[in-house]
Structure 1
């Protein structure tokens, strides 16, 4: 009887598909001390459109080459840098290993541009790094099955077009399997503050390659 129950549980787990929310921990290891030489000066001088920092956070469009950062100065040397970390204004920087995974799963989907990473003494990390702009947006969250609420707009009114987790630490998110099918990394259209979402398959590859990056929590697919 025990073996029979175990088999049923195993089958049930396989039928419940999971996507993963890419939680970005607010710790020093992932929020490296940095600067973006050249880019910061151009932005502060008004030579880069004011909406570019919001693009870093929301990925609402692809950037022109003149708008994207070209260099990142790492202020502290480390024996082992994460494969994904954040820089000024939410700039997301990824290693060569992550770039290869993204291109293998989503060829040509995401905007990935080379960025020169270096330390104060001029030395460079052992791996190449890239600027990542995730511009794929899907509408997959099933609101009534998730711990979410309508968000307030600047004018003080609630809008169903803008949603958020409730509470912000909630880990109950259910997404539509049919809408997420064949997509591996995306943002949610109506959830501007929700982290990136990732497919089971891409998450398994991150785990297999021991990518040092996000923390993950599961979102159920129905």
Structure 2
């Protein structure tokens, strides 16, 4: 069996309201400002050229490019002037996320800004055991209000497996809609997602992945084994529903 998880659409325990590395006096998030400073002061000239559009937008284009590394398939083409996403460098992961409002408790899998995912230590351990050396994890300090931190460590999660196992011809017609040539958007209700079909022969032994043709980063897929381990450990993750395997 295969499961599909939607990203949360409202702030709460699975989507805390805050900013990466806090904000400066102008309200800009600290992660963006740190990456801009790296671009301006430390990036080698031959790399700066890759982001220079001739209009002085390099310091903004670099942070955007970095954020795309956390939500897209490694090495994928992205941007108006398409470039392959390069490996994540040591200075690029966000170091902290400062929660400004709400979220006294957090799930084991949460969405941060820019649709970046993070998982706690117990969930990371499960994922790495089932899918060893497939996904990337980078430590991130979650700062609750009043300077407190959650009881477990958190890590940003970069999903490393992307598959073409979605079968529109075996799915119910009201479960998805076209989003361009051979690209689809899924409907997020339980009833609709139960009608989405995937090829077992194509996703095989994968436990955590995303579909290249279906809803980009809005849908995350789990194997039955991973979902069962999450449930047995009592971990809380966003809404997820059974889908069809063919």
TM-score under structure 1 length normalisation: 0.79
Q: Deviations over 1:173-203 (max 9, x none)?
A: 1111111111100010112254110100000
Assess, with a 3 A threshold, how the Cα gap between structure 1 residues 168 and 126 changes in structure 2: closer, same or farther. Answer: closer
Pick one of 173, 179, 184 that aligns with 1:151. Answer: 179
The structure that is helix-richer by fraction is 2
1:50 aligned partner: 64
- Pairwise CA distance, 1:43: 4.6
- Specify the SS of the correspondent of 1:131: strand
Deviations 1:120-169 (A, max 9, x none): 533322111111011210110111011334313xxxxxx12x2222x564
Structure 1 residue aligned with 2:50 = none
Aligned to 2:73: 59
Gaps of 5+ in 1: 1-17, 153-158
Q: CA deviation at 1:219?
A: 1.3
Runs of 4+ in 1 over 6 A off after TM superposition: none
Alignment of 1:45-124 (within 5 A): 46=59, 48-61=62-75, 62-76=87-101, 78-124=103-149
SS at match of 2:219: coil
1:187 to 199, 210, 229: 210
Q: 1:193 and 1:120, CA in 2 relative to 1: closer, same or farther beyond 3 A?
A: closer
Tell me how many residue pairs correspond in the alignment. Answer: 197
Contact persistence 2:177–2:184 (CA under 8 A)? yes
> C-alpha distance in 2, partners of 1:200/1:97?
18
Q: Contact 1:139–1:189 at 8 Å: present in 2 too?
A: yes
Measure, in 1, the Cα distance between the counterparts of 2:146 and 2:67.
28
Q: Which runs of 5+ in 2 are unaligned?
A: 22-29, 38-58, 76-86
